[in-house]
Structure 1
Amino acid sequence: MTDKTFLRTHAALRDDIGDLLTQRPVPSPQLDQIDPFLFLNHHGPQTYGPHNRGLPFGPHPHRGFETVTFIVEGMLAHRDSAGHESVIHAGGIQWMTAGSGIVHAEVSPRAFLETGGPLEILQLWVNLPSRLKMTAPAYTGVQQDRIPALSLDDGKVTLNLIAGEWDGSTGPVQSLTGVFMSTVAMQAGGRLRITGLQGRNVLLYVVRGRIGVGHHGDLANAYQLVELSTEGDTLEIVAESGSLLLFGHADPIGEPVVSHGPFVMNTRDEITQAITDYQAGRFGSTLA
């Protein structure tokens, strides 16, 4: 077994959306993607007062990829043109396959608008290969109590298993492309060793805290994305302080990526067709 090599960290860049604090580690001027992980927004943490306007993500379209939304604090309401609707609370996730086309809204539910409270949300875009870009849209909302919380390293590490398998446990989401996805809470001194990563690209983002990565213990702080080599099949992470991580891995797709706003396809012609189809109302029923 050989360790993956720590290459560098990428600090999230501040890019607020209205009054919503937003930082984005990928894409950036130095890192276009970690194939198939295309985009990551970190909203918050912040506290909303009573009678607030909530999140600004009203109805908008997507095609050609998947969104995975992690509710760290607060709550998030989802509605889409395929008829799915849910309110997911802290610790839960929303996994949406845009596929051939969907319109959805991600907004604060009425209870949050009225009372306010803490809010912190991560949203990740995961690419789909060309053979799946026009798959049927789908959505899964998962509350925290349905996500296995695996106690590791004598209780100093908790791995919340969202998709994939770990030591006989299986996450509640079955990825179309074999993506492994989790969040990891670590106490200071906690140690996590991951194997079976040969040929896989790793997504490792520090939501909060400070970690050492690899056998050299290279440091990564909150709001930093760790870039690792594709080569190697193991990875070790040690928490320098109490930490929360977004950790996933997947086989790279290795296809051209052409994106335009909410559409991610393989060619410019496919982007043009996506815009035409959306404007013609072919993404399902319109959300009010």
Structure 2
Amino acid sequence: MIELVIEGTRRDLGGFEVSRILPHVQQRMVGPFVFLDQMGPAEFAPGSDAINVRPHPHIGLSTLTYLFEGEIMHRDSLGYTQPIIPGEVNWMTAGSGIVHSERTDPLKKSQGGAMHGMQAWVALPTEKEEIAPSFTHLGEDAQPSDRSGGVFTRLVAGAAFGERAGTPVESPLYYLHYELPVGGTFTAPPGPGKAGGYSERAIYIAAGEVEVDHQRFHTGQMVVFAPHAEPVITAIQPSTVMSMGGEPLGKRHIWWNFVSSSKERIDQAKADWKAGRMILPPEDSLEFIPLPE
């Protein structure tokens, strides 16, 4: 039933820790999900730097930012300035190229507070890697949700169990958020060959502990399922779990913030960023992250 268990790797991004789950040496992608970070959980003191990610570029992907706690201010080169709060979704498609920053609003910074959430990168199909960049902000009403048997479920992106979220996805995928009490259960969407099924599926335990196939898994672990498995996930502790999957798109190269099916395209993106040919966000244009050496 279980193909692989991935342990997230903690990384310090300058005073703020993330757990890096994908890409992994044994599992580069799950469906089109090519990158997955858990941000925090963290508690920022009043006046601390909090989230302070300077403008940086992307190509060939869509980013999905989803919070459990806290707030992040998004600014991009298309001119969008948008705070994201828990339960809402920032969906940014880089396509041929976009630049954005992610920061804590100065007022929120002065107050301090909690930060906890997920950031995913979704690779674009090869024929759509160069589409025009776009940005979509979605409120809770764009994400089907349910609360039954004490289990809260929200479809953050894609389609599952006959429902479809408002995210403008470019390939088949699903991304679900579960809040489980002790003893609460859910099932993954079906595997390939079944109605509404997906070829690749996994869960990530953002908090708590769950049992699958008589095995226990804890915070910071991703469980990748076999294609035709029918897993039932049961909470051993109150748990926050993200369930995700989709159809594979083929090999993708990742270098820094660039994703592409072509190494040459990544080389071009490097040159464009280094030469200043990518536009900075108009409301956050005084600094940027240099190209890594």
- The TM-score normalised by the length of structure 1 is 0.89
Deviates more, 1:183-192 or 1:143-152: 143-152
* Structure 2 residue aligned with 1:11: 7
* Structure 1 residue aligned with 2:101: 105
* Unaligned residue ranges in structure 2 (runs of 5+): 193-197, 286-293
Instruction: Provide the aligned C-alpha RMSD in A.
Output: 1.9
Equivalent pair of 1:92/1:144 in contact (CA under 8 Å): yes
Deviation at 1:80, TM superposition (A): 0.4
CA change 1:281–1:147 in 2 (3 A) is: same
- Alpha-carbon separation, structure 2, partners of 1:11 and 1:67: 22
Match of 1:235 among 224, 231, 235: 231
Instruction: Please give the secondary structure, in 2, of the residue aligned with 1:131.
Output: helix
Equivalent residues in 2 for 1:253-268, closer than 5 Å: 253-254=249-250, 256-268=251-263
For 1:246, give the aligned amino acid: M
* Structure 1 residue aligned with 2:223: 226
- Alpha-carbon separation, structure 1, partners of 2:230 and 2:158: 17
Equivalent pair of 1:22/1:43 in contact (CA under 8 Å): yes
Q: Share of identical aligned residues, percent?
A: 28
- Alpha-carbon separation, structure 2, partners of 1:275 and 1:29: 24
For 1:172, give the aligned amino acid: G
Equivalent pair of 1:6/1:218 in contact (CA under 8 Å): no
* Structure 2 residue aligned with 1:38: 34
Instruction: Please give the secondary structure, in 2, of the residue aligned with 1:78.
Output: strand
- Alpha-carbon separation, structure 2, partners of 1:267 and 1:277: 16
- Alpha-carbon separation, structure 2, partners of 1:112 and 1:104: 20
* Structure 2 residue aligned with 1:159: 153
1:124 aligns with 2:123: no
Match of 1:187 among 181, 189, 209: 181
* Unaligned residue ranges in structure 1 (runs of 5+): none
- Alpha-carbon separation, structure 2, partners of 1:93 and 1:205: 18
Deviates more, 1:197-206 or 1:139-148: 139-148
- Alpha-carbon separation, structure 1, partners of 2:142 and 2:106: 24
- Alpha-carbon separation, structure 2, partners of 1:227 and 1:246: 12
Match of 2:75 among 46, 68, 79: 79
Count of aligned pairs between the two proteins = 278
* Structure 2 residue aligned with 1:245: 241
Kindly provide the CA deviation profile for residues 218-260 of structure 1, in whole angstroms up to 9, marking residues without a partner as x. 221111011222x216332111111101112211112x32221
Deviation at 1:48, TM superposition (A): 0.7
For 2:83, give the aligned amino acid: V
1:205 aligns with 2:204: yes
CA change 1:14–1:282 in 2 (3 A) is: same
Equivalent pair of 2:125/2:170 in contact (CA under 8 Å): no
Kindly provide the CA deviation profile for residues 121-160 of structure 1, in whole angstroms up to 9, marking residues without a partner as x. 21111111211110111112223454332124x2x21111
> Structure 1 stretches (4+) deviating beyond 6 angstroms?
none
For 1:58, give the aligned amino acid: R
- The TM-score normalised by the length of structure 2 is 0.88
Equivalent pair of 1:54/1:112 in contact (CA under 8 Å): no
Deviation at 1:167, TM superposition (A): 4.7
Kindly provide the CA deviation profile for residues 249-283 of structure 1, in whole angstroms up to 9, marking residues without a partner as x. 211112x3222111111122111122233345554
